[in-house]
Structure 1
Amino acid sequence: MEPNKIISCAANTSTSKYRNVKVAPQRKRILSDTRLLPSPKRDVASPNVKRRPPLGDLNKNVATFNKQSGVSSSKITITSHARTETKLPNQAAYMLFNNDEFHSDICDEYLETMVLHELKKDWKYVSPKGSVKCYQVHSRANVVNWLIKAQEYLNQPSTVFYKTVRLFDTVLAATDVPHNMYQLISFVIMWIVTKFENVHFPTTKKLAKLCNNVYTIEQILKLEKKLLVFFGFDLNVPDTIFYVDFYIIKLNHPSELLYNAVEYILECYILHKTSSTVIASVQAAAAVSLALNLLHPTSQLWDSLSNIVGYYSDIELNDVMQDMLKQIHKVQDPKYECRYPFEKYSAQEKQKVATILLRKLIAS
């Protein structure tokens, strides 16, 4: 398949209003322009997030492609999208870790002031527990797995990916989304975040071409406007990678293997349905702590950070780290469908960190 196409699908040009989509009774739609408010608690998101009206209908029906039966109706989930993806070209992924830049001269006091500022907004776009329903779990995991490939293919920094998933989960928590729109919504969110974070971003024409013109330029632009209004033009999303960088800098233990291990753990974990119910700083801290425990089991490196801003004890991080461990085991299973993180981090350019961690888990 051609290298400039991420997926292979077919578009149905017939008009559809998605009136036949079934909505669970407990997910009542109500009008609200209220954004997510910070939770008074530290590790549990506020449950009183009001539902928003649906994003609206697109001009064209988005059909899916099934290998066995061809073009299917809009009722089918996007699972077939994930199964018919092409292999992405072997492009070097954007690497935040840089030995030349890692030893910065930033004053510790200034750096911790930045972290304090970030912690104040850490509760933005945190989804309430239970916001991802059972019937959404499989489709969501497929979309997130696909987004990892898209982010790598577009050569975008990891922060774009994590912010995209955070915003996508916010949409799932706040409104009812037809399954066949998951991929389109997530891809447009990634495009919006890319434009917010970088000066270089793909055009709508390139986006449509990457998706084999399954989605039209008009659909992409129309949904972009709806999403910008939905988020109130506020794309200042807590950055998990910012905290990862901060913790590793504070460790004074620069290691490319450690950084790759942390990113692998995070990419495995973000496939989990509850990942967006955990604030960014806790996710980063849990991933760094778990990576240190696996790579350096006899050391007390994480505890050495107990006096810094944004430190969490292992007891506070335990639940999240347990979920991360479960995801690491799940992703390496050949029967698991969404295992691209394992394939990605088993490559030589990632120091085969996925297989290293797996061996250590088996040996422990």
Structure 2
Amino acid sequence: NIMETLRKLFANLTNAVVHGGNVVDDDGPKNAVVFDPTHTIETEIKNIKISQKIDYLQKQQPSSSSSPKNNDNEKCKNRYINWQDYYQSPKNLPDDVIDYDRTQLKNINSEPIYAFEIFEYLREKEQSTRCQKYMQHQIEISPKMRAMLVDWMVKVQQNFEFTHEVFYHAIKIIDHFLMNKTIKRNRLQLLGIVSIYIAAKCDKGIYNTIIKDFIFICNNAYTCDDIIKMEIEILQVLEFNLNYPLSYSFLDRYAHCSSQTLETLTLSRYILESSLMDYSFVDELDSKMAAASLLLAIRMKHLQWNKTLDFYTGYNEEDLIELAGRLNRLIKTNTEQESIRIKYSKSVFFAVANIKPLDDI
């Protein structure tokens, strides 16, 4: 029984979240190996969705015979059907554009059946969750202070080995909170650390740290009670709406669909991540920021934008040229906040920060 299975899995998930996925003893926090029910739930839901889609598509097919006996035989044949056979290409896919998701049918982790629809949905959702400029309402903080916070959070993300999705998600939480509520200067760092804590919890329910670790990296400026209260405040202000489309996800999708090299993708990520520190980009659409970052990287690598990118991004070069120019000027500018530049100067990131920006895009 699927519902009974999910009920048991949810009970396990609740238990894991309550205990924070960690064990604490007198010597301090130690990461414990815990059951990851979230991943199991995702797998169950994925299987349910695939089964439902197969059932739907089977109903659309004309029956070869109305004979009950033949129908029973047909059901037996379809019992172990290959779900890959039911993939449908995007309706408006041009003839000269590769059907990327069809090439990924053996890679279920890329969600090939649903990927195109998922990103169409995210393009719609980013309109309703679009962040607006908010500094005009903030009394004690400034764009420079926000940049300093983001710069510090880059180091937190690296030290705790959080995924880039966690980092981008945390910035979204911060901006949406500040869009809805003013904050005092001495609580800005608290907002940052709790936002990354929430984002880490949302990342498949996995987070490798506990509150004591955050208190330590904040030099004991805040207490456990401060962090818990801020977490509650953030969730209340945002009305528990934490599912934001992320530019990082769009960028990965665009780069893979257009078969970019890992070095070009990494250069795009450097450009995109640099924009997170600049308040002037806070109200731009995530899909457009991702596409503009990729366009700039492509030009810096002396490559060409093409029809495949037109189709999968939904933008052409004319749509992106102004934004790409702003990004080019951004990475040419020396700033006091160097964490992102230093990070992407390392060989593991192909030292893409050392690639010279364009003189004129």
Under TM normalisation by the shorter chain, which class is it?
0.5 to 0.7
Q: Secondary structure at the match of 1:300?
A: coil
Q: 2:234 aligns with which of 227, 249, 253?
A: 227
Match of 1:361 in 2: 358
- 1:107-146 matches, within 5 Å, as 110-129=114-133, 131-133=134-136, 136-146=142-152
Match of 2:12 in 1: none
Match of 2:322 in 1: 319
Whichever residue aligns with residue 251 of structure 2, its letter is V
- Is residue 270–residue 344 contact of structure 2 (8 Å, CA) maintained in 1? yes
1:302/1:210 CA distance change after superposition, 3 Å: farther
Match of 1:169 in 2: 175
1:111/1:350 CA distance change after superposition, 3 Å: same
Whichever residue aligns with residue 309 of structure 2, its letter is L
1:353/1:149 CA distance change after superposition, 3 Å: same
1:124/1:189 CA distance change after superposition, 3 Å: farther
Q: 2:158 aligns with which of 142, 148, 152?
A: 152
Q: Percent identity?
A: 23
Q: Cα distance, 1:192 vs. partner?
A: 0.6
Q: 2:200 aligns with which of 194, 199, 207?
A: 194
Residue-by-residue CA offset, 1:267-316 (whole Å, 9 max, x unaligned): 21111112220111111111111111111x2x3234432233x3211221
Q: Using the alignment, how far apart are the partners of 1:182 and 1:223 within structure 2?
A: 11
The structure whose residues are more often helix, as a share, is 2
- Is residue 159–residue 240 contact of structure 1 (8 Å, CA) maintained in 2? no
Count of matched residue positions in the alignment of Structure 1 and Structure 2: 253
- Is residue 204–residue 217 contact of structure 1 (8 Å, CA) maintained in 2? yes
Match of 1:328 in 2: 331
- 1:1-364 matches, within 5 Å, as 104=107, 110-129=114-133, 131-133=134-136, 136-201=142-207, 202-253=209-260, 255-295=261-301, 297=302, 299-308=303-312, 310-330=313-333, 333=334, 336-356=335-355, 358=356, 361=358
1:341/1:250 CA distance change after superposition, 3 Å: same
Q: Secondary structure at the match of 1:306?
A: helix
Q: Cα distance, 1:209 vs. partner?
A: 1.6
Q: Secondary structure at the match of 1:200?
A: coil
Residue-by-residue CA offset, 1:174-194 (whole Å, 9 max, x unaligned): 221112211110110110111
Residue-by-residue CA offset, 1:189-233 (whole Å, 9 max, x unaligned): 110111011333211112112222111111000111111111111
Q: Secondary structure at the match of 1:361?
A: coil
Residue-by-residue CA offset, 1:228-274 (whole Å, 9 max, x unaligned): 11111111111222211110111023x22112101110121111112
Unpaired runs of 5+ residues, structure 2, are 1-103
Q: Cα distance, 1:361 vs. partner?
A: 3.0
1:274/1:248 CA distance change after superposition, 3 Å: same
Whichever residue aligns with residue 310 of structure 2, its letter is S
Whichever residue aligns with residue 264 of structure 1, its letter is Y
Q: Cα distance, 1:107 vs. partner?
A: 7.3
Q: Secondary structure at the match of 1:252?
A: coil
Q: Using the alignment, how far apart are the partners of 1:183 and 1:266 within structure 2?
A: 23
Q: Secondary structure at the match of 2:279?
A: coil
Match of 1:94 in 2: none
Q: Cα distance, 1:110 vs. partner?
A: 3.1
Unpaired runs of 5+ residues, structure 1, are 1-100
Whichever residue aligns with residue 152 of structure 1, its letter is Q
Q: Cα distance, 1:140 vs. partner?
A: 0.6
- Is residue 257–residue 308 contact of structure 2 (8 Å, CA) maintained in 1? no
Whichever residue aligns with residue 137 of structure 1, its letter is P
Q: Using the alignment, how far apart are the partners of 2:293 and 2:130 within structure 1?
A: 18
Q: Secondary structure at the match of 2:345?
A: coil
Larger Rg: 2
Whichever residue aligns with residue 238 of structure 2, its letter is F
CA RMSD of aligned residues (A): 2.4
1:164/1:245 CA distance change after superposition, 3 Å: same
